[in-house]
Amino acid sequence: MSSQPRAEAPRHVRVSIVRLDLGLLTYRVPPALNDAAQPGVRVSVPLGRSRAIGYLIEDDSGPPAKGVRDILEVLDPEPLLGSSQLSLAQFAARYYHSPMSEALRLLHPSGMDLVERRRLGVTDKGRLAIEHGGGLLSVQGLELDPLEQQVLSLLLAGPQEVPRILRRAAGADHLLLHRLQRRGLVSEVEIDYASRVRAVTEEIATLLPDAPKGAELEALAKTAKTQARLIGLLREAGEPVPLSELRRQLPGLRSSIGRMKERGWVSLEARERLRDPFAGRPLLPHPPPELNLDQASAVAVLGAALRERRFEPFLLHGVTSSGKTEVYLRLIREALDSGRGAVVLVPEISLTPQLAGRFRARFPEGVAVLHSALGSGQREDEWRRVRRGDVRLVVGARSALFAPVQHLGVIVVDEEHDSSFKQEEGLRYNARSLALVRGQQEGAVVVLGSATPSMETFHNAETGRTGMLRLPRRATPQPLPLVELVDLRRYQLDAEGVLTAPLSAALADTLSKGQQAILFLNRRGFAPFVLCLSCGQPLRCHDCSVSLTLHKRKDLLLCHYCGHERRPPPMCPSCSAAALKPMGLGTERVEETLRARFPQARVARLDRDTARGTRLQRVLDATAAGQVDILVGTQMVTKGHDFPGVTLVGVVNADHALHLPDFRASERTFQLLSQVAGRAGRGGVAGRVIVQTYSPEHHAIQCAQTHDYVEFYRKESRFRRELGYPPFGHLVALRVEGADEGAVITAAHSLAKSCQEAARKPCAHPVQVLGPVEAPLARLRGRTRWQILLKCASRGPIQAVAASARSWKEEGGRQSPGSPPLLGKDLRVIIDVDPQSML
Ligand code: ADP
Ligand code: ZN
């Protein structure tokens, strides 16, 4: 079984304890466990006065230390994590200055929760062994010692969880169970999560025809507000709504709904909760189109690299609707046909169910789709299916990068510029960067695809670090849409501040032709702030340094950062004047304006308030089917949708993203505009895009108008190079957060000082330590935030300073070895390597 030579001296190994940031601890392997103790298995080890579970990472080749304790047990009969996975985790932990335990959690998210739940059952062979083993005639290979006999007999009653078996069969240990497992006498029983999950039901409310309408409803609103609002909500939804959803919008619903049921206005029934938004979607046949020349040459280059089985990264720079997905599909087909596997990362899979459908239709042999609606049990099932090699193609969000696909041949990062590939909590990795690392470790082809590549990726392609493949033309009949800029300094907006005459006329024209339009505004809610006209103060969140957004239909003020919500007050909390006025624009207000302006049009809204789960799928499906005339939404409408009926795209205000205090503001604006423009004219009719802006001369807006990515890259490069920002320099953001402002400031200054000392080493590329300063978002969830920015032309020195920040943090923020720690329980220090958000 083992490939480990039996050494004379006992082995020492390094173990990462789960959920604890203790670094790698060294343990001795007792001779009896030598075979089983392979890298990638979970082990039980003594820790202090108790025991803990950890992953065995590697052999410790250093000189044996004194007082090293023994591993107690090996918990898995075979390594759960392969060597390439372990080295990816080690890279991630080192590069992002994170504990190994966090990195391992990425590789196997539910690994720890499930170790205790593993169940073993007796196999047919095991049954045979019991029949013979205990008796007089013992069959070759089926001999059982008394303890084994006891365990098997125990399992005859049915599969049991491992800890229970160990409790009931005194003297049995994991090693014994592994032996039985290897001999094929017992086997692991898949826990039937699927059926357990399917049993989940929920109550749904249906509006009945007798419910009050019109004047009757208005009368009801005076006496029973909740009931009236509930009727409004159900009517608006136009279909049964889960009670949980209603309760979220209407606290105190329970008693009202009982009364409404008695009156015959609503009915309640239990329904199975839909867990998988993709389950049951019909698989549309998707016959592969004939590739055009650009696609064919891209596939040829990629295929050649695949066949050579070497790591090669590529940027696939293809304009919107140029057929990038088709290129991925062909390459993956080739990988699967040659016995290799593939991982496809997409920004938000729930937003592009069509894409998942396309993969499922093209690869009937199986696709594991990893999305956020999966419960941990389902996720574990998928993980195991992939690990066993039952499925070799995985499509999912950033965490799918860590799926245990065997013989990996291809990694695709679709819409590689998307910020969702960066994880903004825990181990703050960028899946796009780690895709390159994994590709290199496993000799896979990595394709980074986008119409608007990130500055970093394009720079890599331009300097030859990655290959560059281009699809400069659309694969669909119509060319890229014409983009018109409407200068808001010259054109008057309507009374609601939503539409200028040109955009309004274009909408009317589109509707009259029976075509569809998308209207984009990157702000949800009704109004981004509510101002007191008497004292000039906006209503703010108590816990965050931002204003509260008014959500009119829910009748709530919401903090978009911490989720705090409250009813809008009748008067100003500072000066008590009854002069509160909603200011500015959100998607809800745009929707309301459109409904008033175009009463005959079917208007739908797509943002985080309206779109979750089945509701989201419904809006997307309805739009695809042409049942929506105008789709209003936030950046959710800019993502890779393929709605052939959309001919007009309107941008209500292009400037919102432009003025954020973040050096990527121009890049984000260019990407958003180009992507949303790319939704127009994908079918047989030419598209048209109208962009309302106060900054028509800004390069982000001009280049989006001309669809000129390269020009944008050149102009933007000039700023970035001058300031030493990526891709012409490297950044690490250090953030100090805590409830006590004074403590945060002290710690931030001390950390900055310690970084300055570390940066003082003479070096060809000195590291700049900027700050500490208050973060642009100075308070979040009641915690003060300060930050320090490290900047350097070269990767090595900046990582060395970041590592010193990590040591400072691990030592509790001591100025010198003897001094007291600054970091208490409440203070957090975050090290963000290659930060995406500067807020
Ligand atoms: P992208 O990913 O670049 O935005 P898609 O791969 O989604 O583009 O392709 C856009 C549309 O063009 C899809 O409907 C796709 O089926 C179609 N398409 C792709 N390649 C071809 C081709 N060679 N001939 C005709 N249609 C194509
Ligand atoms: Zn808040």
Q: What distance in angstroms lies between residue 823's CA and the mean position of ligand 1's atoms?
A: 54
CA distance 733 to 59: 34
**Residues contacting residue 591 through CB under 8 Å, at least 6 positions apart:** 603, 605, 632
> Do strands 42-47 and 50-59 pair parallel, antiparallel, or not at all (unpaired)?
antiparallel
> Residue with the nearest Cα to atom 5 of ligand 1?
323
Structure tokens at 808: 């400072």
- What's the pLDDT at 427? 93
Q: What distance in angstroms lies between residue 325's CA and the mean position of ligand 1's atoms?
A: 7
- Residue in the structure block whose two tokens are 């290799």: 340
> Residue with the nearest Cα to atom 9 of ligand 1?
323
Q: What distance in angstroms lies between residue 589's CA and the mean position of ligand 2's atoms?
A: 22
Q: What distance in angstroms lies between residue 673's CA and the mean position of ligand 1's atoms?
A: 20
> What mean pLDDT is predicted for residues 601-616?
83
644 CA: nearest ligand 1 atom: 14
Instruction: Write the pLDDT tens digit of every residue in 196-236.
Output: 333 345 678 888 888 888 888 888 888 888 888 888 888 87
> Do strands 688-693 and 516-520 pair parallel, antiparallel, or not at all (unpaired)?
unpaired
**Residues contacting residue 518 through CB under 8 Å, at least 6 positions apart:** 630, 631, 632, 633, 637, 643, 646, 648, 649, 650, 676, 679, 680
Q: What distance in angstroms lies between residue 706's CA and the mean position of ligand 2's atoms?
A: 39
CA distance 426 to 9: 39
**Residues contacting residue 647 through CB under 8 Å, at least 6 positions apart:** 510, 513, 515, 516, 517, 680, 681, 683, 685, 686, 687, 688
CA distance 732 to 803: 11
**In the predicted structure, residue 785 carries a pLDDT above the cut 70:** yes
> Residue with the nearest Cα to atom 20 of ligand 1?
323
> What mean pLDDT is predicted for residues 97-103?
91
Q: What distance in angstroms lies between residue 748's CA and the mean position of ligand 1's atoms?
A: 51
Structure tokens at 553: 């239909």
The helix or strand, by DSSP H or E, that contains position 756, with its residue range, turns out to be: helix 741-759
Q: What distance in angstroms lies between residue 746's CA and the mean position of ligand 2's atoms?
A: 24
Instruction: Write the pLDDT tens digit of every residue in 469-523.
Output: 999 999 988 899 999 999 999 999 998 899 999 999 999 999 999 999 999 999 9
Regarding predicted confidence, which is higher, 419 or 48? 419
Work out the pLDDT band at 4, boundaries 50, 70, 90: low
Report DSSP letters for 572-614, one per residue: -TTT--S-EEEES--HHHHHHHHHHH-TTS-EEEESTTT-SHH
Closest ligand to C-alpha of residue 565 is 2
Smallest CA-to-CA distance from 206 within 254, 243, 158, 157 is with: 243
Q: What distance in angstroms lies between residue 326's CA and the mean position of ligand 1's atoms?
A: 6
Structure tokens at 636: 């959710």
**In the predicted structure, residue 299 carries a pLDDT above the cut 90:** yes
Of the given ranges (411-425, 553-567, 704-718, 730-744), which has the lowest mean pLDDT?
Answer: 553-567
**In the predicted structure, residue 594 carries a pLDDT above the cut 50:** yes
The answer to whether 561 touches 544, Cβ cutoff 8 Å, is yes
**Residues contacting residue 319 through CB under 8 Å, at least 6 positions apart:** 451, 471, 472, 473, 474, 480, 678, 707
Q: What distance in angstroms lies between residue 564's CA and the mean position of ligand 2's atoms?
A: 5
The DSSP call for residue 547 is: B
Q: What distance in angstroms lies between residue 543's CA and the mean position of ligand 2's atoms?
A: 5
> What mean pLDDT is predicted for residues 100-112?
81
> Do strands 783-792 and 768-780 pair parallel, antiparallel, or not at all (unpaired)?
antiparallel
The helix or strand, by DSSP H or E, that contains position 650, with its residue range, turns out to be: strand 646-651
Chain mean position to CA 450: 18
Chain mean position to CA 92: 17
Instruction: Write the pLDDT tens digit of every residue in 527-545.
Output: 998 999 999 888 998 888 8
Residues with CB under 6 A from ligand 1: 289-292, 295, 318, 320-326, 475-476, 642
- What's the pLDDT at 193? 41
451 CA: nearest ligand 1 atom: 3
Q: Tell me the percentage of the chain whose pLDDT exceeds 90.
A: 51
- Residue in the structure block whose two tokens are 């070895």: 817
CA distance 561 to 421: 20
326 CA: nearest ligand 1 atom: 6
> Do strands 467-471 and 50-59 pair parallel, antiparallel, or not at all (unpaired)?
unpaired
CA distance 228 to 231: 5
Mutation probe of ligand 1 site: the residue of 284, 320, 326 with most atoms within 8 A of C-beta = 326
Mutation probe of ligand 1 site: the residue of 325, 332, 675 with most atoms within 8 A of C-beta = 325
Residue 10: asked if its preceding bond is cis (omega within 30°), the reply is no
pTM for this structure? 0.83
The pocket of ion ligand 2, defined by CB under 5 A, consists of 541, 543-544, 559, 561-562, 564
Report DSSP letters for 15-27, one per residue: EEETT----EEEE
Residue type, 300: A
Q: What distance in angstroms lies between residue 727's CA and the mean position of ligand 1's atoms?
A: 31
Mutation probe of ligand 1 site: the residue of 294, 295, 448, 642 with most atoms within 8 A of C-beta = 642
Q: What distance in angstroms lies between residue 230's CA and the mean position of ligand 2's atoms?
A: 27
Helix (H, G, I), strand (E, B) or coil at 308: coil
Q: What distance in angstroms lies between residue 546's CA and the mean position of ligand 2's atoms?
A: 7
Instruction: Write the pLDDT tens digit of every residue in 704-740.
Output: 999 999 999 999 999 999 999 999 999 999 999 999 9
Structure tokens at 449: 């695809």
Closest ligand to C-alpha of residue 323 is 1
- What's the pLDDT at 162? 82
> What mean pLDDT is predicted for residues 696-711?
96
Query: What's the CA angle centered on 694, arms 689 and 697, to 5 degrees?
Result: 80
CA distance 275 to 375: 8
The answer to whether 795 touches 730, Cβ cutoff 8 Å, is yes
CA distance 606 to 214: 27
CA distance 651 to 20: 48
CA distance 756 to 772: 11
CA distance 74 to 15: 12
> What mean pLDDT is predicted for residues 685-712?
96
> Residue with the nearest Cα to atom 4 of ligand 1?
321
Closest ligand to C-alpha of residue 284 is 1
Structure tokens at 246: 């209603």
Instruction: Write the pLDDT tens digit of every residue in 7-55.
Output: 567 899 999 988 787 888 999 999 989 998 999 999 989 988 888 889 9
- Number of Cα atoms under 13 Å in the Cβ half of residue 713: 19
Residue type, 648: L
Smallest CA-to-CA distance from 351 within 405, 396, 306, 384 is with: 396
Of the given ranges (76-85, 752-761, 819-828), which has the lowest mean pLDDT?
Answer: 819-828
Structure tokens at 212: 């009050």
Of the given ranges (60-64, 239-243, 832-836), which has the lowest mean pLDDT?
Answer: 239-243
Cβ atoms < 10 Å from Cβ of 806 = 17
Helix (H, G, I), strand (E, B) or coil at 518: strand
Work out the pLDDT band at 312, boundaries 50, 70, 90: very high
The answer to whether 181 touches 78, Cβ cutoff 8 Å, is no
Instruction: Write the pLDDT tens digit of every residue in 660-674.
Output: 888 999 999 999 999
Q: Which residues pair with 186 in a beta bridge?
A: 122
Residue type, 390: D
**In the predicted structure, residue 195 carries a pLDDT above the cut 70:** no
Closest ligand to C-alpha of residue 561 is 2
- Number of Cα atoms under 13 Å in the Cβ half of residue 172: 24
The answer to whether 654 touches 691, Cβ cutoff 8 Å, is yes
Strand order in the sheet with 201-207: 241-242, 201-207, 266-272
Structure tokens at 220: 């009801």
Q: How many helices and strands (H and E) does the chain possess?
A: 26, 33
Closest ligand to C-alpha of residue 782 is 2
The helix or strand, by DSSP H or E, that contains position 623, with its residue range, turns out to be: helix 613-624
Q: Tell me what the pLDDT averaged over the chain comes to.
A: 87
CA distance 409 to 343: 9
Work out the pLDDT band at 274, boundaries 50, 70, 90: very low
* 316: exposed, middle or buried (Cβ count in 10 Å: 0-12, 13-18, 19+): buried
- Residue in the structure block whose two tokens are 């004939």: 290
**In the predicted structure, residue 823 carries a pLDDT above the cut 90:** no
**In the predicted structure, residue 100 carries a pLDDT above the cut 80:** yes
Query: What's the CA angle centered on 302, arms 296 and 308, to 5 degrees?
Result: 135
Mutation probe of ligand 1 site: the residue of 290, 320, 321 with most atoms within 8 A of C-beta = 321
Chain mean position to CA 163: 34
> What mean pLDDT is predicted for residues 326-345?
97
Smallest CA-to-CA distance from 729 within 448, 459, 425, 423 is with: 459
Q: What is the largest CA-CA distance in the chain?
A: 100
| Count of residues making up the chain | 839
327 CA: nearest ligand 1 atom: 6
> Residue with the nearest Cα to atom 6 of ligand 1?
323
- What's the pLDDT at 56? 95
- Residue in the structure block whose two tokens are 């016995």: 339
> Residue with the nearest Cα to atom 10 of ligand 1?
321
Closest ligand to C-alpha of residue 684 is 1
Smallest CA-to-CA distance from 483 within 508, 458, 502 is with: 502
**Alpha-carbon Rg of the chain, whole angstroms?**
30
Report DSSP letters for 64-126, one per residue: PPTTPPBP-EE--SS-SS-HHHHHHHHHHHHHTT--HHHHHHHHSTTHHHHHTT-EEEE-HHH
**Residues contacting residue 835 through CB under 8 Å, at least 6 positions apart:** 428, 731, 732, 733
Structure tokens at 345: 């990362």
Closest ligand to C-alpha of residue 471 is 1
